[in-house]
Amino acid sequence: MLRLGRHTFADDATLMMAIVNRTPDSFYDRGATWAEEKALERVAQVVEQGAEIVDIGGIKAAPGAVIDVAEEKTRVVDFVARVRSAYPGVVISVDTWRAEVGRAVCEAGADLLNDAWGGHDPGLAEVAAEFDVALVCTHTGGATPRTRPHRVAYDDVVADAIAHTVGEAERAVGLGVARESLLIDPAHDFGKNTLHSLELTRRLDEMTATGWPVLVSLSNKDFVGESLDLPVGERLTGTLAATAVAAWHGARIFRVHEVVETRQVVDMVATIRGDLAPARLVRGLA
Amino acid sequence: MRLSASVASVVVVPAAPLLLPEHAGRADVVPGLRAAVRRALEGLHDVAVLAEPAWGEPVAAHLLRDIGLLEAPLGEAGALLVAGDGSARRGEKAPGHLDERAAPYDAVVEEALREGDAVTLASLDLDLGAELLAAGAPVLRALGDAVLASGRAVQTADLAYADDPFGVRYWVARWDLA
């Protein structure tokens, strides 16, 4: 069983985590959901499309204007409360690396803390334990939040990602986070060049073999763009190909911009794997 | 085949593989058919099966198991379950594409099932049935033969379901014998 705050899911369930940015400057939507009402419309849309999780973020990942704790809280805390009351059936994740923000959003009703910067603030796991919410343990190679990789090197990026994320998950268990509420994420492009992200995709089965549920965040990222030499806005096909490989290797949660397309790919792969029966069967069997 | 005096009812169902759980998708594509089958089998016990071995027998066995009934040898049976259906050439999207002879052929069988007409079933043209991919023709003819040979009359006949959702004619019929 996977337990994300108030919500539980079967061990073989795959989940769509839809990105909802409360930012004026995120790379893909460029502020399309910066206004609170626009962000709420985005939530309505992805819930209608079947997303099980919304991942609300108040700070873009790339370098830019400094967003302090107070500003981050202004962007996300009340919004979490609004989503909680309007959509009690959806899992609310918040993308933050700060324990102080984590605490505020948990009080507002968050179910999951998506620590996209790899445990930079060790207090975040303590907040997850205190509020009995779920936690994503990511690998950034020790990168400082909101920095780009520059000449990063690993002996073995997959081994490093596994060692770090599993170590963080075990540390979280030690702090009191429920074992069934922990996810690990290799964090494509975070502290990694494109070859690192490709290798993590190719060898994702090693990560799923740890037994911890694996979250992947592939959507429209630079490793897709560089692989195909395509700009943001033309990366959906490449994203879906990477999604298919990750799903084949057993990834469970998919952090996405495009819910409908990703759900189709993930269900198709699960059907090919034999984990999911076809939706309907008639051909040759009537 | 000899129909023993203990057989009081005959139920005809399709032999469609999609009725088997191992061929089921996430959505039931024939809920109405399944419900009709369950109703037709209600109250029966010690049911013998008349079906071709490839698909008819496993389908019949599953439909009985599904409602907690066990298969019985014909000599001791209280009822007979016949797994057989009509032509698979009823339209351009049908498994066997369209054959104009399919509809009239099926109409004759359908009327016989509705009326409890064993004579018509016993005279089914098996060559035409094979051409029309009517997999049920041999067993339906054997049913007609068996009822005639037993000298029993069909007291009531009920055609509970007749449709071709996928280009194959499916029937659920029940005859109670005198």
Give the pLDDT confidence score for residue B114 in this predicted structure: 98
A281 touches chain B (CB under 8 A): yes
A167-172: list long-range contacts, CB under 8 Å, 24+ apart: A168/A118, A168/A119, A168/A125, A168/A137, A169/A137, A169/A212, A171/A119, A171/A125, A172/A125, A172/A128, A172/A129, A172/A135, A172/A137
A90 in any annotated domain: yes
Provide, as residue numbers in chain A, all residues whose Cβ is less than 8 Å from the Cβ of B27.
279-280
Q: Return d(Cα A43, Cα A51) in angstroms, integer.
A: 9
Residues of A designated as active site: 221, 255
Number of domains in chain A: 1
The CA-to-CA distance between both ends of chain A, in Å, stands at 37
Is pLDDT at B113 greater than 90 in this prediction? yes
Q: Return d(Cα B7, Cα B3) in angstroms, integer.
A: 7
Provide, as residue numbers in chain A, all residues whose Cβ is less than 8 Å from the Cβ of B167.
286
A75 in any annotated domain: yes
B108 in any annotated domain: yes
Task: Give me the mean pLDDT over the A79-83 stretch.
Answer: 98
- Check CB contact under 8 Å for B24 and A277: yes
Provide, as residue numbers in chain B, all residues whose Cβ is less than 8 Å from the Cβ of A284.
17, 95
A271 touches chain B (CB under 8 A): no
Give residue-wise pLDDT tens across range B27-73. 999 999 999 999 999 999 999 999 999 999 999 999 999 999 989 99
Provide, as residue numbers in chain B, all residues whose Cβ is less than 8 Å from the Cβ of A279.
25-27
Task: Give me the mean pLDDT over the A231-260 stretch.
Answer: 98
Is pLDDT at A33 greater than 90 in this prediction? yes
- Phi, psi (deg, nearest 5) at residue B91: -170, 175
B68 in any annotated domain: yes
CA B5 to chain centre: 21
Give residue-wise pLDDT tens across range A170-201. 999 999 999 999 999 999 999 999 999 999 99
A280 in any annotated domain: no
B138 in any annotated domain: yes
B2 in any annotated domain: no
> For residue A286, what are the contacts with CB-CB under 8 A and spacing of at least 6?
B16, B18, B88, B95, B165, B166, B167, B168
Nearest CA in chain A to B88: A286
CA distance B101 to chain A (A): 19
A284 touches chain B (CB under 8 A): yes
Query: Which domain covers residue B145, as residue numbers?
Result: 9-177
A105 in any annotated domain: yes
- Check CB contact under 8 Å for A280 and B27: yes
Query: Which domain covers residue A61, as residue numbers?
Result: 2-273
Instruction: Tell me how far CA of residue A190 lies from CA of A116, A223, B103, B142, in angstroms.
Output: 9, 10, 65, 72
Give residue-wise pLDDT tens across range A39-58. 999 999 999 999 999 999 99
B65 in any annotated domain: yes
* CATH value at residue A159: 3.20.20.20
Task: Give me the mean pLDDT over the B76-87 stretch.
Answer: 97
- Check CB contact under 8 Å for A279 and B166: no
What is the band of A66 on the pLDDT scale with cuts at 50, 70, 90?
very high
Q: Which of B28, B29, B170 to mutate to test the interface with A (most CBs of A within 10 A)?
A: B29
A286 in any annotated domain: no
Nearest CB among A280, A284, A286 relative to B25 is that of: A280
A173 in any annotated domain: yes
Strand partners, A19: A55
Nearest CB among B25, B165, B168 relative to A278 is that of: B25
Number of domains in chain B: 1
- Check CB contact under 8 Å for A276 and B25: no
Task: Give me the mean pLDDT over the B19-32 stretch.
Answer: 96
B3 in any annotated domain: no
Nearest CA in chain A to B15: A286
A276 touches chain B (CB under 8 A): yes
Is pLDDT at B124 greater than 90 in this prediction? yes
CA distance B66 to chain A (A): 19
A268 touches chain B (CB under 8 A): no
Instruction: Tell me how far CA of residue A266 lies from CA of A2, A198, A256, in angstroms.
Output: 18, 19, 12
B52 in any annotated domain: yes
B1 in any annotated domain: no
What is the band of A222 on the pLDDT scale with cuts at 50, 70, 90?
very high
A282 touches chain B (CB under 8 A): yes
Is pLDDT at B4 greater than 90 in this prediction? no
Give residue-wise pLDDT tens across range B156-167. 999 999 999 999
Is pLDDT at B1 greater than 90 in this prediction? no
What one-letter code names the amino acid at A65? A
Give the pLDDT confidence score for residue B70 in this predicted structure: 86
Query: How high does pLDDT run on average in chain B?
Result: 96
* CATH value at residue B44: 3.40.830.10
What is the band of B2 on the pLDDT scale with cuts at 50, 70, 90?
confident
Interface size between A and B, measured as CB pairs under 8 A:
35
Task: Give me the mean pLDDT over the B77-82 stretch.
Answer: 97
